[in-house]
Amino acid sequence: MTQIFNFSAGPAVLPKEVLQQAAAEMLDWHGSGMSVMEMSHRGPEFISIYKQAEADLRELLAVPANYKVLFMQGGGLGQNAIIPMNLLGCCPQPGTIDFIHTGSWSGKSIKEAKRYANVNVAASSEASGFTGVPPRESWQLTPGAAYLHICTNETIDGVEYNFVPEVDARTPIVADMSSHILSRSIDVAKYGVIFAGAQKNIGPAGLTLVIVRDDLLGEALNICPSAFHWKTVADHESMFNTPPTYAIYIAGLVFDWLKRNGGVAAMEQRNIEKARLLYAALDADDFYRNRVAPEYRSRMNIPFYLRDESLNEQFLAGAKARGLLQLKGHKSVGGMRASIYNAMPIEGVQALVDYLNEFAGR
């Protein structure tokens, strides 16, 4: 096969070793005579896969004992509805949710939450074109809000939080970490809920991770479907309904790969190096531009624009010819985007940098 580097924002690149192991185990997992795809989710074989995946994730993120790890379905968009249905039951109705609007994904969350509660956009960077996170001192938070929702890394706009917000201890922070979970060290205990679609930095589409503090379980609205009720899911160890078994298996292989490669701390250092390399190439002259304020630039998702956008198709064609794939920006913002998740080797980033320099030179 020709060497390719996949810069897709999701579904995204997976570690080569993980794909090779999955291929080797496709027909017969550990002598069971079955593919993981064929296993009962309640059988001992899959239960062992699930328990190991959960244990490894807890170890990688140092998840405190008073948090539940849930393996769910529905993606980040699904959680935009599932979260308010699970957290508004203890509030005087209608409850209020605070949001910080930093890009496309927090915007989608705001729109969905309005179906269930009053929404207060406590701060927004929309007026500046989503080039950063509004200063903490500008936030107009609601006393007694049900929770504060933030998207700590905006996949489309390339904005990443460089701090954990300080808020009233009674207000849990709900964080959408879909596109940078496991890429940097985090203090789970500072959040009430963390959720992430797996298809960006963990595994295939179909799996959504939820990490939720115990005291936030059992506060669901009566309209919350049983399959999406966090306490029900937690009480059944994510087996209330059939979970996305193969996606959990692949996620477990990725967790093991991370552990064998130094864990989250080591991965963060590699991600810092990769991002520094790519941003330096984009900033070298004005042929390319990234619109995000340097202090809020994402390490995972790097949107950029050509000075002369009439060259976009030529740029993409040349990139494809060199095995640099999925560089076209999201349709809502245009331009280009390179997603350099954990599984993207630095060789891939260097190949992109070499092409950026060559194309600009021509």
Q: Which of the residues are catalytic?
A: 105, 176, 200
Radius of gyration (C-alpha) of the chain in whole angstroms: 21
Question: Per the structure block, which two tokens stand in for 153?
Answer: 């890394």
Q: Kindly report the number of other CB atoms within 10 A of residue 23's CB atom.
A: 9
